[in-house]
Structure 1
Amino acid sequence: MPHSHLISIVDDDEGVRSATASLVRSLGLRVQTFASAEEFLDSPQRDETACLVTDIHMGGMDGLDLQKAVRRLGLGFPILFVTGLASDRLRERALQGGATAFFTKPLDVGAFLSCLEDCLRGRSLP
């Protein structure tokens, strides 16, 4: 896996942000974390991002609104949602909005890491 890929993680829960960052770093990838969607959108790392991992339910702008903003900006990187408060409706909205994957907590670590690796290799996902 190339070490130059930057994975951006957006979650308002510091513990989840830190745990997800450690997990992604275990693949040897660069990680930048953000406490809010707005912080990510205002950062220079936004344009360096190879893949975005985000929660849906956050204070301020939620993950679905973040997804819309990213696509309006013309940023085509994959978006992986990880959420503890999932519903079929939210999953459908995320996937219809162009999300690559939608994971629920507790996270299936193997499936998540495999999906992330596939995204970075440019493979098509089901």
Structure 2
Amino acid sequence: MMEVRLLVAVVDDDESVREALPDLLREFGYAVRAFSSAQAFLASDCIGQTKCLILDIAMPGMSGLQLQRELRQRGQAIPVVFITAHADESVRPRVLEQGAAACLLKPFSEEALLAALSAAFRGN
């Protein structure tokens, strides 16, 4: 019997994040797809299978917040864990208020990422 692994999508314009984060998530036992932009994720065939979205807030073109809004408008209730390199304290409460499961400041620890994923899968 095949083990069904939850699909986590990583959307970040930073190539180093798109390379390192999926490896870590696979070690945790998740299936992973990585995208360089919100538009690339929206154009993919995996929106319906994605169980959690790890999403950079600030990206060229469509931001992480705009992607979250677009998915909501499409009726896709995918839990979101935002990640950001910008230490703007006003952003975190705002994204949590808009339904994000967590907001992590880069660089974050494996423990912080696991806790954020747990919150996302619990539906916080």
Task: Return the TM-score normalized by structure 1.
Answer: 0.88
Q: Shift of the alpha carbon at 1:124?
A: 5.0
Structure 1, unpaired ranges of 5+: none
Match of 1:32 in 2: 33
Moved over 4 A (4+): none
In 1, the alpha carbon distance for the partners of 2:96 and 2:6 equals 23
**SS of equivalent to 2:90:** helix
Q: Shift of the alpha carbon at 1:118?
A: 4.4
Match of 2:106 in 1: 105
Q: Deviations over 1:30-89 (max 9, x none)?
A: 000000001101111011100000101111101111111111111112100111113122
Contact 2:11 2:34 in 1 (8 A): yes
**SS of equivalent to 1:12:** coil
Contact 1:67 1:97 in 2 (8 A): no
**SS of equivalent to 1:33:** strand
Which deviates further from its counterpart, 69-78 or 48-57?
69-78
Matched residue count = 122
In 1, the alpha carbon distance for the partners of 2:118 and 2:92 equals 21
In 2, the alpha carbon distance for the partners of 1:39 and 1:74 equals 18
Task: Give the letter for the 2:8 counterpart.
Answer: I
Contact 1:3 1:29 in 2 (8 A): no
Q: Shift of the alpha carbon at 1:93?
A: 2.2
Contact 2:50 2:78 in 1 (8 A): yes
Match of 1:16 in 2: 17
Report sequence identity in percent. Answer: 40
Task: Return the TM-score normalized by structure 2.
Answer: 0.90
**SS of equivalent to 2:25:** helix
Task: Give the letter for the 2:96 counterpart.
Answer: L
Task: Give the letter for the 2:113 counterpart.
Answer: F
The alignment yields a C-alpha RMSD, in angstroms, of 1.5
Contact 2:51 2:78 in 1 (8 A): yes
Q: Shift of the alpha carbon at 1:23?
A: 1.1
